[in-house]
Amino acid sequence: MDCSAALREQLREACAKGQKLEIRGSGSKTFYGRPVRADGIVDVHEHIGILAYEPSELFLTARAGTPLREIDAALAERGQMLPFEPPRFGAQASIGGTVACGFSGPRRPYAGAVKDHILGVRILNGLGEDLHFGGTVLKNVAGYDVARLMAGSLGSLALILEVTVKVLPRPTLERTLVQECSADQALQKLRRWMMRSTPISASAHYQDTLYLRLSGQEHRVRNFAEQSGGEILDDDRGARFWEDLREQGLDFFCGDAPLWRLSLPAAAPQQPADFGASLWEWGGQQRWLRAVPDPLALRHWAQSQGGHATLFRATPGAAVEIFQELPPPLFALHQRLKAAFDPKGILNPGRLYAGL
């Protein structure tokens, strides 16, 4: 269903009246980000449909409200997939919400993030103007790659109408290898494997166990498993682990304690034990923590390592900022982008940072 005309009219009317709008799709990711204080809601969940899919050209274009499950089904018929393996957090999760949140799954460090696979977008800016950026092929650009700016912007710059993404063939074979080891041992192994070509397509360390997903040709998968040692899980159990990790269905994620996300460089050491229980993925570059006793100390440590800490799932009424404070020059750049795309500040005010 094409709702672009109605959405455009709603934004133009809100802009003329100076009304603030909260952009909402399926609602699967409303937990993420700062609360929005708006005068109304602009609903995109009915703006759905796959507009173009060219398996031979490896791209797909869909309206923002199109559920990921529909996109996955269409790609699976041709043996293809979204390379960034996005988490859903809900049965109706959409491609537009995935891009706006910038969410990528276990395959991210080995195949790229969502922003790396955005080829083009069609958006409505804060003035209700209908704009197109990018296309259907990867190419070099001069200046800002505007299409990729939408990834992780949380609707603070524009309302996404359509997204064109690069797709890739599914691996011919996938196996899950598990090894018992400490977090430090896991880091050492992962750093060593990063220096050479391997069939690793996902990694995680949880409860003193290192999980590796191996993807590719059978002989490469078999040779790596034999050389590395460990146990191969049966296919169903292995697939279920990676899905539970992606969708935060593992026991670690259950409960009411706030969930923190650490984003760190590959060379970052193990965080201090008194920061709380943790689960690692992405070769140690993404770390999840529960029941963090001192959020300020956690953020100082992450910053000292060249990373940052995000309060991914907060308890209601939490007094801690969701996103780590930006350096003044970088925040000034965000302000200039906001002014360029949404000069009257009507779209998702405050969802990303206060003042945006």
* Termini Cα distance of the chain: 31
At 140 the pLDDT is 45
Whether 220 and 239 map to the same domain: the answer is yes
Nearest to 293 by CA among 278, 310, 274, 313: 274
Whether 70 and 147 map to the same domain: the answer is yes
User: What is the average per-residue pLDDT within 42-60?
Assistant: 96
Whether 66 and 107 map to the same domain: the answer is yes
CB 33 within 8 A of CB 353: no
Whether 178 and 141 map to the same domain: the answer is no
Whether 290 and 161 map to the same domain: the answer is no
Return the number of other C-beta atoms located less than 10 Å from residue 141's C-beta: 12
Q: Which of 246, 271, 289 is the last residue of a domain?
A: 246
Residue 327 belongs to a domain: no
Predicted confidence (pLDDT) per residue in 207-230, tens digit: 999 999 999 999 999 999 999 999
Residue 154 belongs to a domain: yes
Token output for 347: 């779209």
CATH number at residue 234: 3.30.70
At 277 the pLDDT is 87
What is the three-class DSSP state of 75?
Answer: helix
What is the total count of domains within the chain? 3
pLDDT confidence bin for 82, thresholds 50/70/90 = very high
The model's pTM = 0.93
Tell me the residue range of the domain where 62 lies: 4-169+332-341
